[in-house]
Structure 1
Amino acid sequence: MRRAATIGAAVAAFTAIGFAVLAQSESDEDLVDGLSFLGDPVTAADIAAGETLYAENCASCHGAELEGQPDWRRRLDNGRMPAPPHDETGHTWHHSDRNLFIVTKGGVGAVVPGYESDMPAYEGILTDDEIADVLSYIKSTWPDRQREFQAEVSANDKGDL
């Protein structure tokens, strides 16, 4: 009786380990090579969700193709800056993951107190995971050179969220 219980427990443990390994290998296949956000690996599903959220929340200002508003380097009549591009022609890739997350969640004023911007804060509109997905989608569109530069900037940013 005791031997049967031990064998049964061993079979259950090996089955659980097998399922865990299978689940891990399936999720590893979905990882986007070389892409992470705040140190966490990014999956194809994260990018797909981010693309949808970007279209719904960001594209009206930053462009459907991440191209930004025209003359984005020149102030508008109201003194504010137009929405910059998020593709490789803009400056988004110059900023760390932490900085991009804070600006998206809290607005530009969260990083530069008192700065007036048309960029809304997405806290209460998007969850932290949704913000990470949007930013992962944006990063996924950059050429390797910009991605590598931005990854180094992120690795050197030791601040807290």
Structure 2
Amino acid sequence: MENRVGTTDRWYTLAQVNQGNSLFTMHCAECHGKIGESIPQWNQPDADGYYPPPPLNGTGHTWHHELALLRRIIREGGFKTGGRMPAFSEKLSNAEIDSLIAGFQSRWPNDIYRKWNGTAYDRIEQPAFIQELLKELD
């Protein structure tokens, strides 16, 4: 899947995308898939009740989350959201986290990115645990 930089008004630069793609390969691809595709049953808990890593390529629910929440999940890990994702606050700087997000968002189709970036986000009904995380960000 190609990167989409400059095809619509996106918040990141090509340099961030390039760095983010490298960081994704090093830290994320093993669980989320080589290009962020995850597995077909990503939205179903496993036998232990944990959710598999979601796709980050625009086909899952990642685009439902505002930038602050994406940053927080990467920094603090995914345990609060029912997953097993480790925290990366000790491994990645804030700038690297932004580049990582730029890398996977660059794979989102333009219509998904526009929905994420626009007011459509406010109309998406969020699960209760996400609503709680968003309250903590305020």
TM bucket by the smaller chain? 0.7 to 0.9
Aligned with residue 18 of structure 2, among 30, 48, 54:
48
Q: Which has the higher helix share?
A: 1
Instruction: Tell me the number of residue pairs that the alignment of Structure 1 and Structure 2 aligns.
Output: 122
What's 2:106 paired with?
140
- Extract structure 1 runs of 4+ deviating beyond 4 A: 153-157
**Per-residue displacement from partner, 1:85-129 (whole Å, max 9, x unpaired)?**
0112111111101110011111134xx4xx552101100111111
Comparing both chains, which one has the higher relative contact order based on Cα–Cα distances under 8 Å and sequence gaps of 6 or more?
A: 2
- Does the 8 Å CA contact 2:53/2:83 hold for their aligned counterparts? no
What is the identity, as a one-letter code, of the residue corresponding to 1:34?
Answer: D
Show structure 2 runs of 5+ residues with no match: 123-133
Question: Which stretches in structure 1 are left out of the alignment for 5+ residues?
Answer: 1-30, 37-41
CA deviation after TM superposition for structure 1 residue 155, in Å: 8.6
Match for 1:86: what amino acid?
A: L
Q: Which one of the candidate residues 34, 40, 45 is aligned to 1:64?
A: 34
- Relative to 1, partners in 2 of residues 1:97 and 1:143: Cα closer, same or farther, differing over 3 Å? same
Whether contact under 8 Å (2:73, 2:87) holds in the other structure is yes
Aligned to 1:87: 57
| Counterpart-to-counterpart distance in 1, 2:15 and 2:32 | 22
1:77 aligns with 2:47: yes
Equivalent residue number for residue 107 of structure 1 = 77
Query: What CA distance in whole angstroms lies between the structure 1 residues aligned with 2:38 and 2:58?
Result: 11
Aligned to 1:129: 95
Q: Which amino acid aligns with 1:117?
A: G
Q: Which has the larger radius of gyration?
A: 1
Partner of 2:10, secondary structure, is strand
Cα separation, 1, equivalents of 2:54 and 2:18: 22
Identity %: 28
Kept in 2: contact 1:95–1:154 (CA 8 A): no
